[in-house]
Each structure stands twice: as structure tokens, then as C-alpha cells.
Amino acid sequence: MNEVDLLKKIVQDQTRMLEEKNRLLSDLEYRLKQSIVTGSRKEDLAKFQFQLSRQTIEGQSSLLKTILGSIPSGMMVVDAKQQILSYNPAVQHILKIQEKEILGKTCGQFFGESCEMHTLLKKAMETGEAQFSREVRVRTGSGREIVLAVNAAPIRDSHGDLIGGVEIFSDITGEVDRECQLQKKQESLIHVLTKIMEKKDHYILSHSERVKDLAMGMAKDAGISSPEEQRELSNACLLHDIGLISVPDEILNAKRTGTEKPVDIIRAHPVEGEWMLSSVEGFDAIKRIVRSHHERFDGGGYPDGIKGDHIPFASRIIALTESYDAMLHDAATSRRSQEEVIEEIKENRGSQFDPDLVDIFLNKVPG
């Protein structure tokens, strides 16, 4: 059970307990009424009811505050009109606000109607489904911008009727900052590596850049839509042939000099590339993609002979786009016309290449 479900359960349990207390109170009231005749006894009953109700509410409120106070994430509970009913101490700590700034306001009034903190909770209550956002940027009471991971969910009573909503958020500013720093380091390293590739053989870099453009052109249609996934694919495309820099020049350029390339040395470059990237922080996924970019969909590729969905998805994209580009531009493998390359791709649909990716790719390239 995740944090949102747990907190929803807590609130719902408290609601059920209150309903049970009210039921018992109503039962007690009925019994007392049976024995009351005079007006003075009615006044005593009213006082008793008030005291009992206050004690019940204070007891439940104290228990709920204890629960909310023990949760490190910020949590706000609103009614059906999104007016803030309660919140835990973490809200003030994370947002750097005072009590007077939040009590009695609606979520929209507090965060602003256009703020994702408000729109996320509003959507959860309108659709009846929990909502999540990985990065929501808000400004604290001290003026500092922070990044929050936010969950929002509707709250229903025992009859299934909407009675409010709950929003839970954690400050992930430090984590996001570290990811940005890591990304900058990776970009700097990729720049250095591509310069090394260019110095080794200009074709390796120009080929890799064209493969990147082809792959990114079909990425969204292939289901790669998040910025993180797209960045990973782009970087893998640029580095997919990084292992070739370990191949001696006389072997790498063998076809251009009329001699034959030693196949085993050339075929080792995906493993060499994986090894070169193995010590780079944050490149775990990229190195696996690089290792598998010469696998075939039918299992006849190298270095591992894996097939189908066992091949990383990005590797399947690179296998297709890099073969297309090599057939068009690599003089060492005998250049072909656009029509010949398209026909070759079609013939190897489902054998060398992922058939679904072939369909997407052919809709993107002229042919």
C-alpha cells in the first residue's frame, strides 16, 4: 500500500469512527428523551449532548493530529468545496508558511488557480481518480522555488459519496538538483567522447548524429515520450559506436584500402562500448543499449544472440536506424539507393528488425 492509499485509509477510518460515534450519540439521545418530561430535564439533555459531542470531536481530532504529525511528507485535507480543513506540521515546514496563511482558504486561493498543486487536486476530485505529478514547482513563503512530488486523491464516505480530497507532497528539490548536475556532467562527457570519435574517424560521428536524428524522428510514435527516455535514446544513439575507437585504424579502414576486415574484432565493438561506459555514473541503461544495438529481432545478432522483447527497446530502434543510414552512406559497405535500402528494410521486417518499428519508421522516411 503506497503513501496516498495509506493516508486515504486513515482519513476514511476516522470518518467511519465519527459516524459510529454519532450513531451511538443519537441512540443515547433517543433513550434519554424517553425519560424526559419537563423542560428543565430537556435543558440538561442539551448540555449533556453538547459536552459529549465536544469530547467525541476533540478525541478524534487529537488522534488525527497525532497521525498527521508523524508523517514527514506534507499532507492537506480539504472538504468537497476544496476548503482546507486540516494539514500536518510538515506543510508549514516544507512551504515555510504561518498558520494564518492557510487556514480558512481554499486550495485555489492558497496556491493560485493556475498552480498545479490546485489543478491536480481539482482533477482528482472531479474524476474520482488519484493523480500524480513528478515535478511541481512552487515558491515558498521565504521566496525560494522548490520542487515537489505530489499525490492527490479524492476522499469518499462509507456510502461512496465525495466528501473531500487529500494532497500529499514531498520536497525533492535536492534530488532534482543532483539529477541536473549529473545531466550536465553526462553532457560534458558525451561532448568529449564525440570529439574523440570524430578524431578517430569522422564517419563514425556523422553516422551517429544521423542515427540520432532518425531515431528521435520516430521516438514519439514509438512510445518514447518522456524527456528522460528521449534524452536516454539520444545519448545512446550518439554513443552506440563508441567501441569502434578501440579498433585499429588499419582494420577500421580495411574496406577502403581493398582489404578485408577481421569480423571478430569489428563485432567486439558493442562489448567494448559497454565496457567504456561502465564506469560512467548514470549510464547503466545507455551501456546496455550500446551492447545490444547489433542484436537481431530473430535472435541471429551479436554479441548475445537475444531476440524479440529481450532486446532493449532503444537498441531495436538503433539497430533499424543505423542499418538504414549505413546502407545509404557507408562507402565501406557499398552504398545503395534510397529505393534499394527501403526494400532491404522491408525484406528484413520481423527477422533482423522489429516489425512494429519498421512500420513506424517507413511512415517517417521518404520512400
Separation of CA 97 from chain center: 29
Residue 210's closest CA among 330, 343, 355, 346?
330
| Residue-level pLDDT at 37 | 45
CATH architecture group of domain 176-362: Orthogonal Bundle (1.10)
39 DSSP assignment: H
- Locate CATH 1.10.3210.10 in the chain: 176-362
CATH architecture group of domain 3-171: 2-Layer Sandwich (3.30)
Dihedral, 229, 232, 236, 237 alpha carbons, nearest 10 = 60
> Phi first, then psi: what are they for 99, rounded to 5°?
-60, -40
Q: Transcribe 169-230 into DSSP letters.
A: EEE-HHHHHHHHHHHHHHHHHHHHHHHHHHHH-HHHHHHHHHHHHHHHHHHTTTT--SHHHH
* Average pLDDT, consecutive stretches of 10 residues, N- to C-terminus, the chain (367 residues): 61 64 63 52 55 55 65 87 88 88 83 88 92 89 92 90 92 92 90 92 93 96 92 96 91 62 84 93 93 97 96 98 91 76 96 97 85
| Residue-level pLDDT at 47 | 56
| Residue-level pLDDT at 253 | 75
Contacts of 143 (CB under 8 A, 6+ apart): none
Rg (C-alpha) for the chain, rounded Å, is 32
| Residue-level pLDDT at 30 | 63
Put simply, whether the predicted model's pTM sits higher than 0.75 gets the answer no
Q: Transcribe 66-131 into DSSP letters.
A: HHHHT-SSEEEEEETT-BEEEE-HHHHHHHT--GGGTTT-BHHHHH-TTSHHHHHHHHHHHHSS-E
- Locate CATH 3.30.450.20 in the chain: 3-171
| Residue-level pLDDT at 12 | 65
Sheet holding 84-87, edge to edge: 84-87, 74-79, 162-171, 145-156, 131-139
